[in-house]
Amino acid sequence: MTALVTTVGTGWLVLPRLEARKRRIMDAHQARDKFLATMLRISSAGSRLQAVQEPAADDTAWTPVMRERFGEERARWVKQLDEATEWMVDHLETFMPTWPGDPR
């Protein structure tokens, strides 16, 4: 009888709290993973934009088609940078308190 009461009591009182805690912990880990992935995207896109410059206008090795495709690719990198930066700013309050350093 004691085992039955313990099992029922655990099922009603303890398990719901454990499930809610588990969900909160998983949500926090997923949010942290997204934040770090966004930081990596910003870093990568910024590095690519800085490292890969457009060719000189008088460079004959570049055809007009190559220049157009390269321009489109750079525009895509800028778009990635903009989207990631916008997401970071929109979710800053979620992560700022846990980030090391002075938030001011």
Domain ranges of the chain: 25-98
pLDDT value for 73: 93
- Which distant-in-sequence residues (6+ apart) come within 8 Å of 38 by Cβ? 84, 87, 88
pLDDT value for 3: 67
Q: Read off the pLDDT of residues 12-62 as tens digits, 9 standing for 90 and up.
A: 777 778 888 888 888 878 888 888 889 899 999 999 999 988 888 888 888
What is the average pLDDT score of the chain? 83
